[in-house]
Each structure stands twice: as structure tokens, then as C-alpha cells.
């Protein structure tokens, strides 16, 4: 049995990956500073350590006190707008924090890491579907920190033999099918939870950002990938470390517009969604969806959730019974 350190394991995608790894027979140590993560989201079978990427001493202690075989790193900050207003916070936590983590790993002979990267490293798409060869030209500090981390991994591979896979997610969505854990951000900015809150009556409406995009219905198209499919891809990536180094897109390859999300949610919930059409949000490309052929081929991965209604259904169960 292997022991995996999940940095940021109390967050949305981290907590689902922790659960999946435990279900697959791994031992898991979760480290999280609980700034955005939820202690309740951490599976009781995992060992929890309160630690921050910028606290080298507490990182050091984790590797001293536990025999770690590999690390999955989710502990980056991820709010695009905030990264523009306060880039220092992002360069400290995401870039310097990751360098600290790699230092602690390498000092203890741990050379394996799977990292949450993002399609935001591509920037404005030059073509779709986006494959891994698409030029990387991020348009905000958040995307730049993730790209820098990918580049650091390549340098550390050459110099220190680091084994690394960076998974570039498209739009993570949905919740554990058993309703045990789910998505809970403060403030919430993501489309699907906001639509469900509007349907529930917890917010007045959903604001649709722009209806004049060059897409069939005028609203933006994104690739929504279920969080449990992301979790299984992380486990497969861990198992692939050593025979593959590099980056892989994680998406379904299917594009869904904002209007299509709202209609699908109305069908799932059986209630109308109050909405308002407003101006475009700055920095939103018209369409983003993945070419996921490499992830399928390299990892032997196949997303289980293909239909957007099935993804929304899991989010709806969580929205009605959420525990945190
Ligand atoms: N969106 C929207 N209203 C909202 C939140 C999001 O119309 O209140 C749109 C947004 O413009 C984008 C899509 O929904 O086209 C997905 O946005 P989200 O913030 O969930 O993810 P992003 O694609 O920005 O990572």
C-alpha cells in the first residue's frame, strides 16, 4: 500500500481525490491551511495535518513524520480576479509555496508529484478543441503562476529527476455521487452552483455574462468535467509517474453554453431559473473545450460523466443537503 500526501486535500477537487484514493486502497495524509478548505470535507480515514505551503517548517515535519511515496498538489489559490488585484498573494502562495513543497519533498527523497494545473495556462484560445500543444499565453497572474510551476517541474526533472504530471483542468463541476462531499466556495463565483442557488431561491437570479459571443446561442461555451472523473485521473496519473512526465488536459471534450447549463438545470430541478442578461465579464473567451485524447491514451482514463444533466444532478443533490 502506498501513502500519498494530498496538499490542499480539504478543498473541492482535493477532497474528492482523497476519497477516491482511500476507496482505491491508498493511505492518505491530507495537509491544508483551511483558508478555503473545509475540515469536514476531509474523509475520516485520512490523517489530517494543518500546514501552509509558505511554512517550510510544517512542510518539513510532514515528511519527517510520515513515509510519503508521492504528492498530489491542489494547494494553489485560484481566483482569477483576485490574482489581478493582488498578484503578490498568488506569486507567494502558488509559486514560492510550490518551490517550498518541492524542497521538502526532495530533501526526503520524494520525487513524485501530480499537480492541478489549468486550461487558464493557454490564455485566449487560438483554436478549439485545445490540445496540449496549443501555445501557452496566460492572460492573468493566476494562469501565469500555474504555467511557471509547470516550467519549474521541467527544470527539476532535468536537474533532480523529478517525476511530474500536471493536469490541466477545464471546468470542474458536480459533487460526490453519494452526496457526502461537494462544492462550497465563499464567495461562490462558478456558474453551476450559482444557477442552482437561483433555482432554490437562495439568490435572486443568475446573471448571464454576455449574449453576443460568436457561439450558436450567443453565450460562452465551456467544458464541464465531473469532479469524480478528475479524481480518478489523479489516481491514474500517480500510477503513471516515472513512465510519463508532462502535462495532460482533463475535460470531456464537449462544449456546453451558459444557456444550455441553465436549461439543463431547470430540467433536473423541475423549476425555472430566474435570470438576467448582463454585460460580458472581462477576460472570458467565447469557447473553451478540451482535446482529451492524450489523457485517454496516456492514463487509460475515460470520463464517466458525459451528459451535463448527470453532472448537474449530483450538484443538485449536494446543493439541497450540503453539510458545509
Ligand atoms: N457565468 C455567467 N454568470 C455567472 C458566472 C459565470 O454567465 O454568474 C459564465 C462565465 O461567463 C463563463 C461560464 O459561465 O462563460 C463559466 O464560468 P465559471 O466562472 O463557472 O468558470 P470559468 O470558465 O470562468 O473558469
Q: Which residues are catalytic?
A: 142
Query: What does the alpha-carbon distance between residue 5 and residue 28 come to, in Å, rounded to a whole number?
Result: 6
Mean pLDDT, 10 residues at a time, over the chain (324 residues)? 94 98 98 98 98 98 98 96 95 98 98 98 96 97 97 98 98 96 94 98 97 97 98 98 97 98 98 97 92 98 98 97 93
What pLDDT sits at residue 1? 65
User: CATH assignment of 3-173+223-250, given 3.30.1600.10, 3.40.50.720, 3.40.50.2300, 3.40.50.920?
Assistant: 3.40.50.720
Q: Is 197 in the pocket of ligand 1 (CB under 6 A)?
A: no
Could you tell me the distance, in angstroms and rounded to a whole number, from the CA of residue 258 to the centre of ligand 1? 8
C-alpha cell at 90: 498568488
Residue 53 backbone zone (phi > 0: left; psi -120 to 50: alpha; other: beta)? alpha
Residues contacting 188, CB < 8 A, separation 6+: 194, 197
User: CATH assignment of 191-222+253-320, given 3.40.50.11290, 3.50.50.60, 3.90.25.10, 3.30.980.10?
Assistant: 3.90.25.10
What's the Cα-to-Cα distance from 73 to each of 25, 39, 132, 180, rounded to whole Å? 19, 17, 20, 22
Torsion of CA 157, 164, 100, 30, to 10 degrees: -160
Q: Is 244 in the pocket of ligand 1 (CB under 6 A)?
A: no
Full-prediction pTM beyond 0.95?
yes
C-alpha cell at 169: 483542468
What's the Cα-to-Cα distance from 106 to each of 76, 163, 215, 251, rounded to whole Å? 20, 11, 47, 31
Report which secondary-structure segment, H or E, holds 173: strand 171-173
Residue 305 backbone zone (phi > 0: left; psi -120 to 50: alpha; other: beta)? beta
**How many of the other CB atoms lie within 10 Å of CB of 311?**
28
User: In three state form, how does the secondary structure of 12-74 look?
Assistant: HHHHHHHHHHHHCCCEEEEEECCCCCCHHHCCCCCEEEECCCCCHHHHHHHHHHCCCCEEEEC
Q: Is 232 in the pocket of ligand 1 (CB under 6 A)?
A: no
Q: Do the Cβ atoms of 246 and 168 come closer than 8 Å?
A: no
State which ligand 1 atom lies nearest to the alpha carbon of 209: 7
State which ligand 1 atom lies nearest to the alpha carbon of 219: 15
Q: Is 208 in the pocket of ligand 1 (CB under 6 A)?
A: yes
User: In three state form, how does the secondary structure of 177-234 look?
Assistant: CCCCCCCCCCCCCCHHHHHHHHHHCCCCCEEEECCCCCCCCCCCEECEEEHHHHHHHH
Query: What does the alpha-carbon distance between residue 319 and residue 47 come to, in Å, rounded to a whole number?
Result: 27
Residues present in the chain in total = 324
* Residue of 183, 177, 180, 186 lying closest to 196 (CA atoms): 183
Q: Where are the chain's structural domains?
A: 3-173+223-250, 191-222+253-320
Query: What does the alpha-carbon distance between residue 157 and residue 238 come to, in Å, rounded to a whole number?
Result: 16
Query: What does the alpha-carbon distance between residue 94 and residue 20 come to, in Å, rounded to a whole number?
Result: 25
What pLDDT sits at residue 283? 85
Could you tell me the distance, in angstroms and rounded to a whole number, from the CA of residue 248 to the centre of ligand 1? 23
Query: What does the alpha-carbon distance between residue 148 and residue 98 come to, in Å, rounded to a whole number?
Result: 10
Could you tell me the distance, in angstroms and rounded to a whole number, from the CA of residue 281 to the centre of ligand 1? 8
Q: Which of 205, 258, 280 to mutate to test the pocket of ligand 1 (most atoms within 8 A of CB)?
A: 258
What pLDDT sits at residue 282? 86
Amino acid at each position: 500500500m502506498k501513502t500519498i500526501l494530498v496538499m490542499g486535500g480539504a478543498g473541492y477537487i482535493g477532497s474528492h481525490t482523497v476519497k477516491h484514493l482511500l476507496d482505491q486502497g491508498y493511505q492518505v495524509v491530507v495537509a491544508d491551511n483551511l483558508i478555503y478548505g473545509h475540515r469536514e470535507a476531509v474523509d475520516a480515514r485520512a490523517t489530517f495535518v494543518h500546514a501552509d505551503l509558505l511554512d517550510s517548517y510544517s512542510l518539513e515535519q510532514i515528511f519527517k513524520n510520515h513515509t510519503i511515496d508521492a504528492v498530489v498538489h491542489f494547494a494553489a489559490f485560484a481566483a482569477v480576479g483576485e490574482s489581478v488585484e493582488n498578484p503578490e498573494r498568488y506569486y507567494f502562495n502558488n509559486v514560492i509555496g510550490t518551490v517550498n513543497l518541492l524542497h521538502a519533498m526532495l530533501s526526503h527523497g520524494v520525487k513524485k508529484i501530480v499537480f492541478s494545473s489549468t486550461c487558464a495556462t493557454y490564455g485566449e484560445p487560438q483554436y478549439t478543441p485545445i490540445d496540449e500543444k496549443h501555445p501557452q499565453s496566460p492572460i492573468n497572474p493566476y494562469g501565469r503562476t500555474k504555467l511557471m510551476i509547470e516550467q519549474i517541474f521541467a527544470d527539476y526533472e532535468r536537474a533532480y529527476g523529478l517525476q511530474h504530471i500536471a493536469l490541466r483542468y477545464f471546468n470542474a463541476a458536480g459533487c460526490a455521487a453519494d452526496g457526502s462531499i461537494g462544492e462550497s466556495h465563499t464567495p461562490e463565483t462558478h456558474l453551476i452552483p450559482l444557477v442552482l442557488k437561483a433555482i432554490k431561491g437562495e439568490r435572486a437570479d443568475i446573471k448571464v455574462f454576455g449574449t453576443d459571443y460568436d457561439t450558436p446561442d450567443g453565450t460562452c461555451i465551456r467544458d464541464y468535467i465531473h469532479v469524480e472523473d478528475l479524481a480518478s485521473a489523479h489516481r491514474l496519473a500517480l500510477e503513471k509517474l516515472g513512465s510519463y512526465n508532462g502535462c495532460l488536459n482533463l475535460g470531456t471534450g464537449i462544449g456546453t453554453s451558459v444557456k444550455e447549463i441553465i436549461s439543463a438545470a431547470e430540467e433536473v430541478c423541475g423549476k425555472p431559473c430566474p435570470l438576467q442578461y448582463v454585460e460580458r465579464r472581462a477576460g472570458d473567451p467565447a469557447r473553451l473545450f478540451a482535446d482529451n485524447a492524450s489523457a485517454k491514451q496516456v492514463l487509460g482514463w475515460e470520463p464517466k460523466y458525459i451528459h451535463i444533466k448527470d453532472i448537474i444532478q449530483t450538484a443538485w443533490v449536494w446543493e439541497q443537503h450540503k453539510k458545509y
